Amino acid sequence: MCLTPVPAWLILGVTLVIAPAASIRDTRKSIIMKVIWPAYVNAESPSLRLECSFNRFRTDLVSVNELGIFRFDIGGGGEPEMVAKVTAANLTYGLNESDISASGQLQNNTKSNLFVSYTSNTEGYCQTYSCVAKGLKANGEEVSIYRPVKAKGMNNVPCKSAHRSRVPGRELGGRSSDCCVASEKVQAQSEAIESLENEIEKWSVVLPEVRNNYMKIELLRVQISQLENQASADSSIVTPQDNEKLDNFGRRFDDLQKLVHAVSDENRGFRKILSIDVTLYEVSNIVSGRVYAVSKSEEMKHKRTIEKSCHQIGGYVAKIDDDAEQMFLINFFKMIGNYKYYIRAKNNEGNFVELTRGEPVSTERYAPGLARSNEEPRIVLGEKKDCVQAIQSGLINVECGQLSKFVCEVPMVEEEQVDTIQSVVAMPDPGGHIKIL
């Protein structure tokens, strides 16, 4: 099996074909491709290093035979040029080329991690490179996976110049090189297409029901249009006997409009949940039309700061409404670790209440002998011992004013938000798991 050159138009994101195998743009980050710039640009003999690594376990391939780097001329068109290739045989017998290096394992039906690097000593700063891995799926289908990267540097590194410059993109005298500018439009189109493809991939893989909902909306709009046209035609010959028929049309129209709004609201909710930064929050599964986002950082936060953080992701500080919700949160906390989490509840002389309205927390899962005990409040750092913890046996009260993470409740549909908070602590249990309600 050999790597087939990638058509020059492939980089623009149109029909994806690498004959004879199917071609797939890498959306799972199985290929990581880096461009390494020199300390300064010698325009007479530029040097550009590209590194490409591949991990089969981020794909559905059972084996990978080859990995190669192709070079494209962004502005000049033409066919791509293979500049580096490694195969199982290369790794077995070694690589002799001075400008190519490789490491890792690349064998059929075994672990396949591969690294290939290539040093370009050509006028290559205005070119695009693509790393292509070729292998087999479980059904025997040949597949090529690729990830492109532009070699254009900061401030348009000069492609041709008789001068040296220590500032990439600047010739002597401070004039910017324009050799890459001619391809700016093509590059912008490529970036726009790639961004759109990534967005489509995210929606289709993460939340396929969103795509189905949009199809529902379009179907409903067609039905509404048909009803409007039929009602308009019937109104010209309306008789008293037709009134009921027209009323039915009106009711059906209203029902469809409500359904369209409901589906649209659901899609907006999915967008809101997907926008939560997972580098800052642990996010639960969707349950009862909401998710819980737990902060990853542990620090001393003021209540208003926590409230603002939750509002920024479209939610509010979490509260416990019933026993099922409490068990869901406790199991979620068990999965992500033993920390103190602010929630919207407090201990009021042994009775746990919701802060804003002072209503009792709607759960009876109190730790034996601790809740409703009317124990004497203890002053710690100027605060009473009136914050709330969750342990395996239920809720207890603890000291306030400690380092803490916090829990945001993020509904898919907007709700009234309140902004008073306290804390909850989860105890570790490696066997804990999320129960989908």
For 211, phi and psi rounded to 5 degrees? Answer: -60, -40
Q: Alpha helices of 72-207 — where are they, by DSSP H?
A: 88-93, 184-206
How far, in Å, are 231, 235, 247, 248 from residue 240 at the CA level? 15, 11, 12, 14
Gap between the Cα atoms of 132 and 70, Å rounded: 8
Least confident of 229-233, 274-278, 292-296: 229-233
Position 231 confidence tier, pLDDT thresholds 50, 70, 90? low
Is residue 379 a contact partner of residue 396, using CB atoms and an 8 Å limit? no
**Strand pairing partners for 412?**
none
| Of 425 and 22, the one with more pLDDT | 22
Is residue 264 a contact partner of residue 217, using CB atoms and an 8 Å limit? yes
Q: Which helix (H) or strand (E) holds 44?
A: none
Check pLDDT > 60 for residue 114.
Answer: yes
Q: Alpha helices of 207-357 — where are they, by DSSP H?
A: 208-235, 243-274, 303-312, 323-336
Q: Is the link from the previous residue into 411 a cis peptide, with omega within 30 of 0?
A: no
Check pLDDT > 50 for residue 15.
Answer: no
| Of 122 and 133, the one with more pLDDT | 133
- Amino acid (1-letter code) at residue 320: I
**Strand pairing partners for 339?**
none
| Of 181 and 218, the one with more pLDDT | 218
Position 107 confidence tier, pLDDT thresholds 50, 70, 90? very low
| Of 313 and 199, the one with more pLDDT | 313
**Strand pairing partners for 86?**
67
Check pLDDT > 70 for residue 96.
Answer: no
Gap between the Cα atoms of 334 and 341, Å rounded: 12
DSSP 288-303: TTEEEEEES--B---H
Task: Pick the closest to residue 424 from 343, 312, 334 (CA basis).
Answer: 343
Least confident of 300-304, 328-332, 413-417: 413-417
- CB proximity list for 219: less than 8 A, separation 6 or greater: none
Gap between the Cα atoms of 320 and 361, Å rounded: 7
DSSP 172-191: TTSPBP-TTGGGHHHHHHHH
Dihedral, CA atoms, 189, 153, 148, 80, nearest 10 degrees?
Answer: 90
Residue 328: the pLDDT is 82
Dihedral, CA atoms, 271, 275, 278, 280, nearest 10 degrees?
Answer: -140
Task: Pick the closest to residue 112 from 54, 165, 152 (CA basis).
Answer: 54
Least confident of 209-223, 244-258, 379-393, 421-435: 421-435
Position 235 confidence tier, pLDDT thresholds 50, 70, 90? low
- Amino acid (1-letter code) at residue 89: A
Q: What is the pLDDT of residues 138-165, one digit of tens each?
A: 888 888 888 877 655 433 344 333 333 3
Residue 417: the pLDDT is 42
Is residue 363 a contact partner of residue 395, using CB atoms and an 8 Å limit? yes
- Amino acid (1-letter code) at residue 278: V
